Amino acid sequence: MNTVKKRRRAFVDQTLCVACGCCVKVCPLKAIEIFKGIMAQVHEDKCVGCGRCAKECPASVIDIREVQA
């Protein structure tokens, strides 16, 4: 039997991210980091989609979406 598990995780619109790092500061799981001072990157395996980063992001460029696990 196939059970389709759904889970949530954060997605960053990297073209609009300003790399301020506000998201990094609030993530309880260290699941998001700034890549070379250019943009934020989410570690897919660590992120649980709690949405804290999205709430904090001053540019509001983080979305929480459902993905197939």
Residues at the contact surface with other proteins, assessed by CB under 8 A:
16, 18-22, 24-25, 28, 34, 36-38, 55-61
- Look up residue 39 and give its amino acid: M
Q: What is the Cα gyration radius of the chain? A: 12
Q: 41 contacts which partner out of other proteins, ligand SF4, none, CB within 5 to 8 A by kind?
A: none
Is there binding between residue 67 and ligand SF4 (CB under 6 A)? no
- Residue 5 per-residue DSSP state: -
Binding mask 2-41 for ligand SF4 (x = CB under 6 A): --------x-x----xxxxxxx---x-x-xx-x-----x-
Residue type present at position 50:
C
Dihedral (Cα; 16, 11, 23, 46), 10-degree rounding: -150
Pick between residue 1 and residue 6 the one whose CB is nearest to ligand SF4.
Answer: 6
